[in-house]
Chain A
């Protein structure tokens, strides 16, 4: 807002939760498109699960009872051995969602010297090292590396949306 640049982003809260600690039962992350759930057991023994997004933009990071009920149902269908296990902690963060579920990595356009690295939604953590390396190269040389070219902000205007086939498409208000 300060620079007068608008972004094709909606900021949605994404919720996650962990159960009470349990003896080791899972040694993989398991996820199901049908149950719309994933679960992973942490080193402390808690089953970590979550990833619901309320489809209305807000900055509250509030969690909802609706989702505790929904996730308890989904998880007990997917892993019946977890029926009766209690959720211990439930939190939410903010996910900046773009229309094509791909980040925006751009620079020097429209303002020279201004770079943006945003729109990661809920999956930026895994790519931060590689992104950092390429963005640093961009800033140092002033030339956009080939790796970053598909992620420019102008791709929407030019109808070159990225096809992120692995990402679920039902979360953003645009979908």
Chain B
């Protein structure tokens, strides 16, 4: 399920909400909602920085698209300063999202930090009583209520122990209890989830992150190593079968 991407300037910002330390929820007006796991390139500035910023779809309605993102550098900092009424530039939806047909039975969604962002739209497409969110955070959790509202059961780990279990999300993840898995987060975490799933013969889909330029598969700067050679995170992914990805130590 892919919608042709649209390039639009002057897209109105409808809402900007700071929901945690450095984490924001941005809602814009858009009529081209992507599928879970797809992403958009955003920019709220002219030519500095040069590149747009890839953000995955958090939620969508018929007329809006929302992005949950963390301020990591200058681009995301500029995005976080957008207010309702401001205009930004949007290209998307882009890439291949989650293969819903392969997320059957009891589904585990395993996330680290801002890796929770592509999962809200996914959870919405699954039967909530069959979904367990296993979310890890460095400190104070965020966005959990958006999943609980769907009826999704959430297990939480925090590195500082301020909520849930002290430790990592992977400490709480037992692949034997699930039939399929979707994961997103820091690379070492995803590599660990992929290894646990492989050992338990549980299918796992990973949503990868990469520095991108064109976003449409032309420039080849967002390559990731796979069993079939280097592939493009932006168009061959960002969601890949975990068994295909070659994880670097």
A and B together in one complex: no
The interface of chain B, by Cβ under 8 A from chain A, is: none
